[in-house]
C-alpha cells in the first residue's frame, strides 16, 4: 500500500506526475537529443508554462541545473566578485552563506535565531554589497520572509542585486519577479517531482555582471555560467546534456497548475496551512515553532512537540503517512509538515486526525 508523503522534500509526487512520465516514455523522450527540435519544443513549453505560472518577465531567462545547491554555487560565481550579503535564519540559508565562504567570497551574514524572522530595521547592508542573498522559506525552521519584505529590501537597495531562494515555496510565493534579479527552486518540493532538477531564473543584469567578471579574468565556472546559459537559451538549448525527462514533466505539471489556476493552488495551501496551525494551537503536545504568524511558512509547517518526534513518525508510518523530523538540533523535538500542492484538503485532514489521536493518547 502506498504512503502519503508530507516530508519537506523529496515529497509526495504531484497527482499527474505518473501520467506525464508514462507519456514521456511513450514518446521515447529518454532517447531524444538535446540539440534537436523535439528538445527545443520541450524547453520552450516549460519556459512558457513557468512564465505564466510565476508571472516571470521577459527580462529574465529560465535555466536548468542539477539542484538548488548547484545554483547557490553558480549564482555566487557569476554575480559576486567579492561581496555577498546573506540573511540567515536556519540550516539552508546558512549553507548558501557557507558556499560563498568556500568560494573565497567576502561574505557577510545577518543571522537571527532559529524560528525567528527578520526585522528589516535591524539589518544594515554594506554599500559594497554586490548580491543580497535571501531564502524566502527556510525549510529547516519553517520561517517565511513576507513578499512585502523582499520588495522593501529591493526598494531600499535599488542598485544592489537581490536574489531569493524559493526552494520550498515556489509557486506559492507571490514575489514580484521584476524586483528579483535572480531566484531559483528545485522540483522535489512544491512541484511534486523526484529530485534531479534545479530551476534558475535570472535577469540580464545578472548576465551582464557575469560577463564583466569573466572579462576581468575571474573564474565564473566551467560550463553552467550565465554566459553559456544565455547563449544556449536563445535557441532553447542547454550548455550540456540536461535531465530532459524532468524538464518535460516540469512543463507539463506547470501546465496542469495553470489549468487549475495558481490562485486556486495558493488558496488551497492557505486552507491546509490554517488547518495545521489551528491544530497545533489547540493541541496539548504540539505548538507552532514560529511565534509570529506573519513569519510562519505556509508551505513547510514546523511544530514543536513534547512527544519524541521519532515516536510520532513511527506511529504515522504504521498509517502510511510520512512527515519529516526537525532539522539538525531540533530533530528530536520538532516535526516538519510539507504543505505542497500534491496533497489535498482530505489528505491533510487525514494526517491531522492521526496527529490529534497521538496528541490525545
For position 61 contacting its own copies by CB under 8 A, the verdict is no
Give the interface segment with its own copies, choosing from 110-118, 150-158, 223-231, 345-353 (CB under 8 A).
223-231
Give the integer Cα–Cα distance in Å for 126 and 305. 39
Q: Which is nearer to its own copies, 243 or 339 (CB)?
A: 243
CA 100 to chain centre: 19
Which residue in 186, 299, 334, 343 binds its own copies (CB under 8 A)?
186
Using DSSP's 3-state secondary structure scheme, residue 106 falls into strand
Which residue in 58, 113, 159, 222 binds its own copies (CB under 8 A)?
222
Give the interface segment with its own copies, choosing from 44-52, 53-61, 233-241, 350-358 (CB under 8 A).
233-241
Give the integer Cα–Cα distance in Å for 102 and 80. 13
Residues 6+ apart with CB under 8 A from 292: 117
Q: Which is nearer to its own copies, 103 or 179 (CB)?
A: 103
Give the integer Cα–Cα distance in Å for 292 and 226. 38
Q: Which is nearer to its own copies, 46 or 296 (CB)?
A: 46
For position 339 contacting its own copies by CB under 8 A, the verdict is no
How many CB atoms within 10 Å of residue 313? 16
CB of 16 to its own copies, least distance (A): 13
Give the integer Cα–Cα distance in Å for 322 and 30. 31
Give the integer Cα–Cα distance in Å for 247 and 325. 30
Which residue in 33, 156, 178, 264 binds its own copies (CB under 8 A)?
33
How many CB atoms within 10 Å of residue 175? 23
For position 328 contacting its own copies by CB under 8 A, the verdict is no
Give the interface segment with its own copies, choosing from 28-36, 126-134, 256-264, 278-286 (CB under 8 A).
28-36
How far is the CA of 158 from the CAs of 97, 151, 153, 181, 208, in angstroms? 22, 10, 8, 11, 16
Which residue in 20, 29, 125, 229 binds its own copies (CB under 8 A)?
29
DSSP secondary structure string for all residues of 45-79: HHHHHHHHHHT--TTEEEEEES-HHHHHHHHHHHH
Which residue in 45, 224, 295, 296 binds its own copies (CB under 8 A)?
224
With CB under 8 A, what is the number of residues at the site for its own copies?
Answer: 57
For position 326 contacting its own copies by CB under 8 A, the verdict is no
Which residue in 210, 246, 254, 355 binds its own copies (CB under 8 A)?
246
For position 242 contacting its own copies by CB under 8 A, the verdict is yes
Q: Which is nearer to its own copies, 69 or 333 (CB)?
A: 69
For position 245 contacting its own copies by CB under 8 A, the verdict is yes
How many CB atoms within 10 Å of residue 233? 19
CB of 221 to its own copies, least distance (A): 7
Which residue in 59, 156, 208, 219 binds its own copies (CB under 8 A)?
219
For position 15 contacting its own copies by CB under 8 A, the verdict is no
Residues paired with residue 135 on neighbouring β-strands, in sequence order = 165
Which residue in 56, 65, 283, 351 binds its own copies (CB under 8 A)?
65
CB of 103 to its own copies, least distance (A): 5
Write out the binding residues for its own copies, residues 279-308 only, by CB under 8 A.
none
Residue with cell 523582499: 150
Looking at the chain, how many residues does it have?
Answer: 361
Give the integer Cα–Cα distance in Å for 319 and 305. 19
Where are the strands (E) in the chain, listed by range?
4-6, 60-65, 83-88, 106-111, 131-135, 137-138, 143-144, 161-165, 182-186, 198-203, 286-288, 300-305, 321-325, 334-338
CB of 195 to its own copies, least distance (A): 4
User: Residues interacting with its own copies, by CB under 8 A?
Assistant: 2-3, 5, 7, 9-13, 17-18, 21, 25, 28-34, 65-67, 69-70, 72-73, 76-77, 99, 102-104, 186, 188, 193-197, 217, 219, 221-225, 239-246, 322, 324
Amino acid at each position: 500500500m502506498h504512503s502519503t508523503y508530507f516530508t519537506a522534500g523529496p515529497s509526495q509526487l504531484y497527482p499527474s506526475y505518473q501520467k506525464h512520465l508514462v507519456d514521456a516514455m511513450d514518446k521515447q523522450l529518454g532517447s531524444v537529443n538535446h540539440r534537436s527540435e523535439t528538445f527545443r519544443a520541450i524547453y520552450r513549453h516549460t519556459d512558457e508554462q513557468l512564465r505564466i505560472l510565476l508571472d516571470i518577465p521577459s527580462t529574465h531567462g529560465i535555466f536548468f541545473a542539477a539542484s538548488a545547491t548547484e545554483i547557490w554555487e553558480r549564482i555566487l560565481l557569476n554575480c559576486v566578485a567579492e561581496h555577498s550579503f546573506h540573511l540567515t535564519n536556519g540550516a539552508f540559508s546558512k549553507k548558501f552563506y557557507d558556499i560563498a565562504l568556500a568560494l573565497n567570497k567576502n561574505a557577510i551574514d545577518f543571522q537571527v535565531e532559529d524560528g525567528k524572522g527578520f526585522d528589516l530595521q535591524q539589518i544594515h547592508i554594506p554599500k559594497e554589497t554586490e548580491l543580497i542573498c535571501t531564502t524566502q522559506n527556510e525549510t529547516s525552521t519553517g520561517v517565511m520572509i513576507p513578499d512585502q519584505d523582499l520588495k522593501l529590501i529591493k526598494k531600499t537597495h535599488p542598485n544592489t542585486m537581490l536574489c531569493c531562494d524559493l526552494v520550498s515555496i515556489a509557486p506559492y510565493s507571490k514575489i514580484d519577479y521584476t524586483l528579483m534579479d535572480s531566484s531559483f527552486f528545485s522540483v522535489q518540493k512544491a512541484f511534486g517531482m523526484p529530485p534531479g532538477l534545479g530551476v534558475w531564473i535570472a535577469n540580464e543584469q545578472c548576465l551582464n555582471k557575469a560577463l564583466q567578471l569573466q572579462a576581468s579574468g575571474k573564474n565564473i565556472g566551467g560550463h553552467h555560467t550565465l554566459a553559456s546559459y544565455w547563449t544556449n537559451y536563445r535557441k532553447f538549448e542547454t550548455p550540456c546534456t540536461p535531465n530532459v525527462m524532468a524538464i518535460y514533466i516540469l512543463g507539463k505539471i506547470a501546465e496542469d497548475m495553470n489549468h487549475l489556476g495558481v490562485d486556486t493552488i495558493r488558496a488551497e495551501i492557505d486552507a491546509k496551512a490554517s488547518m495545521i496551525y489551528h491544530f497545533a494551537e489547540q493541541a496539548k503536545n504540539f505548538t507552532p515553532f514560529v511565534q509570529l504568524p506573519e513569519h510562519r511558512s505556509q508551505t513547510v509547517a514546523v511544530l514543536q512537540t513534547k512527544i519524541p518526534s521519532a515516536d510520532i513518525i513511527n506511529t504515522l508510518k504504521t498509517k502510511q503517512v510520512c512527515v519529516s523530523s526537525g532539522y539538525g538540533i531540533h530533530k528530536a523535538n520538532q516535526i516538519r509538515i510539507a504543505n505542497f500542492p500534491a496533497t489535498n484538503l482530505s489528505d491533510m485532514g487525514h494526517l491531522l486526525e492521526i496527529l490529534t489521536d497521538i496528541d490525545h493518547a
